[in-house]
Amino acid sequence: MKRSNWSFRRYILYIVVFLALIWAESLVHPRIAPKVDPNAGKPSNTAGINKDDEKNRSLYRLPQTKGKTRDFTSEQGNGEQIRLIPGTVTRTVDGDTVYVRLVSGDEEKVRLTGVNTPEIHHPQKGVEPYGREAADYTRSHLSGKKVYLETDISERDKYGRLLAYVWMARPSSTTDSEIRAKMFNARLLLDGYGQLMTVPPNVKYADYFQNYQREARENNLGLWGIKGTF
C-alpha cells in the first residue's frame, strides 16, 4: 500500500515538474501572433479599373517627347535650372490659348499661365472688347514659331490643357529683362492685350506680371485705353 502511494506521489510530481517547465519556456520564448494582411481575401483594385477612368487620368500626364530632345535645361545665374519643353506653335485659338507640336509629334493644347485675354469664342460672352486684337497679336507673334514651354507646380487645368509659360527664345536667366524680352505671357501684359490672372499654386512669375500689368494700365496701352470698359 505504501509503495502504491509513493508511485502515485511520484507520478504527480512528474506532472508538476513538466507543467513548470512548459510555463518557464513560455516566459523565455513567448509566442508571437502571425501578422495578418488586412487586404487578404479582398479583390485586387487593378482588376476593376475602368478604361475610361484610365483614359481620363492620362490627360493629366505631361507627354514625354522622344530621344535627347525631350527637354532643355537653362542654367540661371543663381544655379537654379529651368526645364523647358521645345515645340512649334501650329495654330492659335485666341489670345491666351494655342496648340503646340512637341518634338515627339504630340500636339498639346496650351493655356498660357498667369494671363487672361478677352474672349472671342465664349458661348455667353461672345466676342469681348479687344478680344480679336489680342487673338491677332498672339497669332502674329506665335503662329508657326518655335517656342519653349515652362510648366509650374500644376501642369494641367481641369480641361486637360497644358498650363505653361511660353518662351519665344531660350532664357539665360529669369531676370526681369529676360522675361520682358522673351516670355510671351509677359508681352501680353506689357502691351495691354491681357489681364493678370493668378491661380495658385502657379505663381512663379506673379510679382513680375503684376508690375507689367500696372505699367500697361498706367500708360493706357491696349485694352486699358478703352474708355468705360475697365
Do the beta carbons of residue 135 and residue 222 sit within 8 Å? Answer: no
Q: Which of 108, 119, 150, 178 is catalytic?
A: 119
Query: How far is 86 from 147, CA to CA, in rounded Å?
Result: 6
Whether 161 is catalytic: yes
Active-site residue, selected from the candidate residues 161, 170, 180, 217: 161
Report H helices in 168-218.
176-182, 184-190, 206-218
Q: Which residue, 166, 155, 29, is CA-closest to 88? A: 166
Spatial distance between the Cα atoms of 167 and 104, rounded to a whole number of angstroms? 19
For residues 186 and 208, the answer to whether their CB atoms sit within 8 Å is yes
- Catalytic option among 111, 150, 178, 187: 111
Return the C-alpha cell found at 65.
517627347
DSSP-derived 3-state class of residue 78: coil
Report cis status (omega within 30 of 0) of the bond before 201. Answer: yes
Q: CA-CA distance, 67 to 193, in Å (whole number)? A: 37
CB under 8 Å to 40, separation ≥6 — which residues? Answer: none
**φ, ψ dihedrals at 50, nearest 5°:** -80, 130
Which set of grid coordinates corresponds to residue 35?
Answer: 501578422
Is 111 catalytic? The answer is: yes
Q: Which residues are catalytic?
A: 111, 119, 161
